[in-house]
Amino acid sequence: MKAVRIHATGGPEVLSVDEIPVPSPATGEALVRIKASGVNFIDIYHRTGLYKVPLPYTLGTEAAGVVESVAPDVTIVRPGDPVVYYIAAPGAYAEYAAVPAERLVRVPDGIEARVAAAVFLQGLTAHYLAFSTYPLRPGDTCLVHAAAGGVGLLLCQIARRRGARVIGTVSTEAKAQLAREAGAHDVILYTEQDFETETKRLTGSAGIQVVYDSVGKTTFDKGLNLLARRGMMVLFGQSSGPVPPFDLQVLNQKGSLFVTRPSLFHYIATRPELEARAAELLGWVADGTLKVRIDREYPLADAARAQEDLAARRTAGKLILVQ
């Protein structure tokens, strides 16, 4: 089978399409024939060595497809089931992957594999951010950075659904329109306006309850300045680089603030929690409540170009590899 692997860390040029054997499902595993794979920043972190992985390594942590076969002890899924998964096993940039069956979620009828792969990671992320990390309530105000990105567009929709006022930041007017369509009440073009100054203007300097920040280094400090007393900074990504160490006393000085650095894995660690979040998320997709935007689709061989486009933030919505 074809698989996109790295034999050394580095830039997009280290990605190679290799022919490797189709894996056999071990105890507790299912073999999934992959139809679509999500392209995510964690894949770039694996490629560059920011997150260490054993080499050679098949990239990709999110995919949707069909169960081809299962180990004798597996009863959760069966051959022919349409499934989706995230971070259960490496190797989603491939034609097949052996995946722990307990991490597979059956895709409801009516949802294509490409849509399931496009929504799963980002949708589950938006779900836990708005429902668990900081449970939004009617009357809250939240700031969503990269509001036209994969997580951003879904988080705007879910936050609006929760009754919160949503302020989004984007880089272009075209992306601003997408964020508005997704439910953002106000959108700030950070390329033309200082988001801290503009957010304070929009809110009358009242302070907001939560900042959902996937950008990191370039936005973190200003985001802290926007929070109301006992507000929360939710740092769930670092597309501009990691946030440098800072003095925790700053949180006291700015109003007994909270800072958290969550990871999706810790919010879907158990099978019941994974199933509950996925059922709600995919149910919204199936009934049309939640709109999924696929920005671009690439063949497996163009994985390097997909990662370049994602890293350059030239996208609005999800990037997927299809086969």
pLDDT at 62 over 90: yes
Q: Are residues 148 and 237 in the same domain?
A: yes
**68-81: per-residue pLDDT in tens?**
999 999 999 999 99
CATH number at residue 310: 3.90.180.10
Q: Which of 115, 106, 132 is nearest to 234 (CA)?
A: 132
Query: Does residue 218 lie within any of the structural domains?
Result: yes
Domain final residue pick, 261, 289, 311: 261
Nearest 5°: phi and psi at 194? -75, 120
| Average pLDDT value for residue range 296-306 | 97
Residue 279: predicted pLDDT: 97
- Pairing relationship of beta strands 141-144 and 165-170 according to DSSP bridges: parallel
pLDDT at 41 over 90: no
How many domains, in total, are found in the chain? 2
Query: Does residue 130 lie within any of the structural domains?
Result: no
Alpha carbon of residue 290 to chain centroid: 15
Residue 315: predicted pLDDT: 78
- Percent of the chain residues topping a pLDDT of 90: 91
- Amino acid identity at 195: F
Query: Does residue 198 lie within any of the structural domains?
Result: yes
**228-285: per-residue pLDDT in tens?**
999 999 999 888 888 999 899 999 999 999 999 999 999 999 999 999 999 999 999 9
> Which residues on neighbouring strands pair with residue 260, listed in sequence order?
234
**104-144: per-residue pLDDT in tens?**
999 999 999 999 999 999 999 999 999 999 999 999 999 99
Residue 90: predicted pLDDT: 84
Range of the domain at 248: 137-261
Per-residue CA distances from 134 to 90, 159, 196, 284 (Å): 29, 11, 21, 21
Residue 6: predicted pLDDT: 97
Q: Are residues 297 and 235 in the same domain?
A: no
**162-199: per-residue pLDDT in tens?**
999 999 999 999 999 999 999 999 999 999 999 999 99
Residue 311: predicted pLDDT: 87
Q: Are residues 141 and 255 in the same domain?
A: yes
Whole-number average pLDDT of the chain? 95
Nearest 5°: phi and psi at 237? -170, 175
